[in-house]
């Protein structure tokens, strides 16, 4: 078990530290990361997600329906709860950024590699689905709330604004690529070998690029250790996976699927909230400091969850 944990976590944290160090030492620009975001989120990650899903059998995908529902429900509960908790002292835009940062784990950089290294390639599908689900649900809601907040006077979100955010999200490759793969698997179409090799080559940079990107973003964020930051980090790394575990247990899924869902939500916070907030000049301290705190604490909590979940099996 110790070797499995080391094999799974050392590459992840090494990639994060490489990006963090490159940003802090000025080897890479940690303020203007738009090109790297485009590489990871528009090219590499969509190719990797498409390939993972299209190489998954129809039977296994059908088994992931309840897994997807559990992930979606957990996202919704966490996002809504965090948003309204922070609205007491923050604006609409700030609360939206904090809620997305808190509720959406860094699945893009960590989920697939962590699950496959720890539990085998059969666990890749839940990791890939968590990225797509988060990108098509709470991400467009955040963008809609940021647009509402940027208007100044508005304090509520309208159906038209929300629908517009969701529709715009559907045009992003990280959304339609896995959706297309699901359609192809469902109707039994196999992609040619040359296309699979091409996607594998382009998608091979997804995990490493996302880890490097996360480290760069972390290196540019201010950090202040406060009580709310500690509470947020504790809730993210301990309470959030516990909630996911409970929701998954209530679903008709296998123990392996419960394990996969729980470990996804034990992953530290993702960078989507910070990236979205930066576009609207809204990066609340709780989001930036909480983001950094979860990675520091995850060095201890991620191995703990892997051990606990191995006993559950």
CATH of region 2-312: 1.20.1530.20
Q: In this structure, what token pair is assigned to residue 271? A: 């960078």
Phi-psi region of 29 (alpha: psi -120 to 50; beta: other; left: phi over 0): beta
Q: Are 289 and 212 in contact (CB under 8 A)?
A: no
- Give the Cα separation of 196 and 52 in Å (integer): 10
User: How many of the other CB atoms lie within 10 Å of CB of 283?
Assistant: 23
Instruction: From first to last of the 313 residues of the chain, give the pLDDT tens digit.
Output: 667 778 778 888 888 899 999 999 988 888 888 888 888 888 998 898 899 888 888 888 888 899 999 999 999 999 999 999 998 888 888 999 999 999 999 988 898 889 988 888 878 889 888 988 888 889 888 888 887 777 665 555 667 766 766 677 677 887 788 888 888 988 888 899 999 999 999 988 888 888 888 888 888 888 888 888 999 999 999 999 999 999 999 999 999 999 999 999 999 998 888 888 887 888 888 888 988 999 999 999 999 999 999 887 6
Instruction: Give the 3-state DSSP-derived string for 281-303, with helices as H, strands as E and coil as C.
Output: CCCCHHHHHHHHHHHHHHHHHHH
d(CA 282, CA 259) in angstroms, rounded, equals 35
């Amino acid at each position: 078990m110790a070797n499995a944990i080391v094999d799974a976590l050392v590459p992840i944290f090494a990639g994060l530290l490489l990006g963090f160090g490159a940003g802090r030492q000025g080897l890479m620009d940690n303020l203007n990361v738009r090109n790297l975001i485009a590489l990871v989120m528009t090219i590499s990650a969509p190719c990797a997600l498409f390939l993972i899903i299209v190489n998954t059998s129809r039977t296994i995908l059908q088994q992931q329906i309840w897994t997807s529902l559990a992930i979606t429900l957990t996202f919704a509960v966490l996002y809504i709860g965090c948003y309204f908790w922070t609205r007491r002292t923050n604006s609409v835009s700030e609360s939206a950024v904090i809620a997305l940062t808190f509720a959406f784990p860094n699945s893009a950089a960590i989920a697939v590699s962590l699950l496959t290294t720890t539990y085998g390639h059969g666990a890749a599908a839940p990791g890939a689905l968590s990225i797509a689900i988060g990108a098509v649900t709470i991400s467009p809601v955040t963008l809609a709330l940021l647009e509402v907040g940027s208007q100044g006077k508005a304090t509520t979100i309208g159906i038209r604004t929300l629908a517009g955010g969701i529709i715009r999200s559907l045009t992003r490759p990280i959304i339609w690529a896995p959706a297309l793969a699901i359609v192809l698997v469902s109707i039994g179409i196999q992609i040619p070998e040359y296309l699979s090799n091409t996607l594998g080559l382009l998608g091979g940079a997804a995990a490493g690029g996302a880890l490097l990107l996360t480290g760069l973003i972390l290196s540019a964020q201010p950090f202040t250790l406060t009580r709310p930051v500690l509470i947020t980090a504790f809730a993210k790394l301990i309470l959030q996976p516990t909630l996911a575990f409970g929701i998954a247990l209530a679903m008709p899924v296998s123990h392996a699927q419960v394990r996969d869902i729980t470990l996804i939500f034990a992953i530290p916070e993702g960078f989507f909230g910070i990236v979205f907030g930066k576009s609207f000049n809204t990066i609340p301290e709780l989001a930036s400091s909480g983001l950094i705190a979860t990675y520091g604490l995850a060095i201890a909590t991620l191995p703990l969850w892997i051990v606990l979940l191995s006993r559950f099996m």
